[in-house]
Amino acid sequence: MKKNLLGKTIFIVVVVLAFAFGIVGIPRTWDAKGLAESIQSRIHLGLDLKGGTHLILQVVVNDAVKSESDRVIERLKEELRKANIVYAEMRLPDEKNEPERIEIGGVAPESSGELRRIVTETLPDWDMTSGVENRWTLRMKPQPLALLKERSVQQAIETIRSRVDSLGVSEPVIQEHGLGQYQILVQLPGVDDPARVKDIMQSTALLEIRQSLGGPYASEQEAVAANGGILPADAVLLRGSTSARRDGGPQEEWYLISRASAVAGQELRDARATRDEYGRPAVSFDLTGEGGRRFFAFTSAHVGDNLAVVLDNRVVEVARIEEPIRDSGRITGTFTEQQTRDLALKLRSGALPASIQYREERTVGPSLGADSIKDGVKAAIIGLVAVMGFMLLYYHWAGINANVGLLLNLVILLGFLGLSGATLTLPGIAGVILTVGMGVDSNVLIFERIREELRSGKTAPSAVEQGFSRAWLTIVDTHVTTIVSAAILFIFGTGPVRGFAVTLTFGLLANLFTAVFVSRVIFDAILQRKERGAALSI
């Protein structure tokens, strides 16, 4: 019996020490300041306690629809070219409000059947209707359109999460905002530079490498005039500012760039901040295997031509292809070191499928969080002292048993937060207080069963044995049903609600350990020291 009790005691001590380590960790110094810093670094506080930024973003899903329509136009042009079908125009008549609608004009009447066959076979997600003067309208079907918009929001969430995670923001909340269509909720605890984070989140960072066909030109008019008044059909004019490196000031220029890209951002394998041969900040990137093969084929066929690095439809660099390049490159320009780090981060996390707009921005001040912590801790201490005093008065020496269990419960719960990296929020503090209440309830159940057994004339060891046995099923029943409720809150709830569910769930598991196992071990230790037939103070 003594050996068994010793083993249980050692097990309890090991568990408590492990969770105490979760709270304190290994501080740099063992004075009060060092301990406080170590605890603060391990217990992550939520937005409502630590302060930070609360944002609601609107995903402009029509951007993603327009991109899809542009791809369809390019594909359809290729198919019509193969089928020798002549048309006068193919465009988006209202790309801002109805990007899912494409109009085709000038198709010869005898080619109408072949046009319908091509659209039916190659574009199953689109409906085609005819209009006056043999004009045709393609419109994306409602279901694929809805799926495309929803997929754009999910891709935007993943891209923003990747960018925020790379910034080292602890426990951010990034999820679809249930109160608005195509909106994203972003909460960033402890962010002290929200402008930088917003810039990184909002940037698209779509990298493309295209052929430079002409430029730089001082203006659009000069570019058009230099090309005989009409731009080539397979080229576009894009802004750039590479001359800033020569004259020392920002000066916009225009370049004639091919519409098709040799490689694009989805073929990017890695990007990192580096320096060029002159020691200036730059960004180096590596391509995937397929991207590298395409890049090598492109540069092999265009040795001597100019290559343009295009970022978000803006030319950031134009260079001459001296020899074939296989799978890596470098972007230089008038960057600061911080800008190269941010650009590398954006390229690694991929491009946003659509632009985003800020609908709401709210900053939660650290002082409000500090007040919340202060009030919460004060309430918890007052409640805990009151409960411990009541247990001592009502259950005498057995009250010490219950109070030890309550304290160990708090140690285990806070240690779990430190070990798991979970975030403590204001609702989480409510979960802690509720856990304390259920811990007291468990002790009351056990102690009252023991009192009943003692009043029926049983000895103290037998009363303790029967008391724990009779209370066990009731305690398990209440705890399991509450844990199931907390699991539902965790699955369907948002950030703070999930924080409440996490602290409540683990608090209840800790409570089962302290109120049943630890309390029973303490009772057994007390009974071992008593003489046979001695009364139990309860």
What local confidence, expressed as pLDDT, does residue 233 receive? 72
Q: What is the DSSP string of 224-263?
A: HHHTTTS--TTEEEEEE-TTHHHHSS---EEEEEEEEEEE
Q: What are the residues whose beta carbons fall under 8 Å from the beta carbon of 66, sequence distance 6 or more?
A: 92, 95, 99
Query: In three state form, how does the secondary structure of 45-113 look?
Result: ECHHHHCEEEEEEEECHHHHHHHHHHHHHHHHHHHHHHCCCCCCEEECCCCCCCCCEEEEECCCHHHHH
Bond prior to 232 in cis (omega within 30° of 0): no
Contact 55, 186 (CB under 8 A): yes
Q: What is the DSSP string of 98-159?
A: -TTEEEEE---GGGHHHHHHHHHHH-TTEEEEE-GGG-EEEEE-HHHHHHHHHHHHHHHHHH
Q: How far is residue 62's CA from residue 250's CA, in Å, rounded to a whole number?
A: 32
The answer, as to whether pTM is greater than 0.95, is no
Q: Taking Cα atoms as reference points, which of 367, 401, 355, 379 lies closest to residue 519? A: 401
What local confidence, expressed as pLDDT, does residue 245 receive? 46
Kindly give the confidence (pLDDT) of every residue in the chain, 538 residues in length, as a single tens digit, with 9 standing for 90 and above. 455 788 888 999 999 999 999 888 888 887 888 888 888 888 877 777 777 888 888 999 998 898 888 878 878 888 888 888 888 888 888 888 899 999 998 888 888 889 899 999 889 999 999 877 778 999 999 999 999 999 889 888 888 887 787 777 766 788 888 667 899 988 887 776 777 777 777 776 677 888 888 888 888 888 888 888 888 877 888 988 655 444 455 567 899 998 777 877 667 777 888 887 788 888 888 888 888 888 888 888 888 888 888 877 888 878 788 778 877 877 776 778 877 887 777 777 777 778 888 888 877 766 555 676 677 777 778 878 888 898 888 888 888 888 898 889 889 988 888 888 777 877 888 888 888 888 888 888 898 998 888 888 888 888 888 888 888 888 888 889 999 988 888 887 766 777 788 888 888 899 889 988 998 898 888 888 777 666 677 7
> Which tokens belong to 348?
């690694």
The single residue listed with the structure tokens 């590479």 is 242
Strand partners, 273: 283
What local confidence, expressed as pLDDT, does residue 64 receive? 86
Q: How far is residue 218's CA from residue 207's CA, in Å, rounded to a whole number?
A: 24
The single residue listed with the structure tokens 């996490």 is 502
What local confidence, expressed as pLDDT, does residue 138 receive? 93
Q: What is the DSSP string of 324-387?
A: ---SEEEE-SS--HHHHHHHHHHHHH---SS-EEEEEEEEE-HHHHHHHHHHHHHHHHHHHHHH
Percentage helix, strand, coil, to 5, in the chain?
55, 20, 25
Contact 56, 359 (CB under 8 A): yes
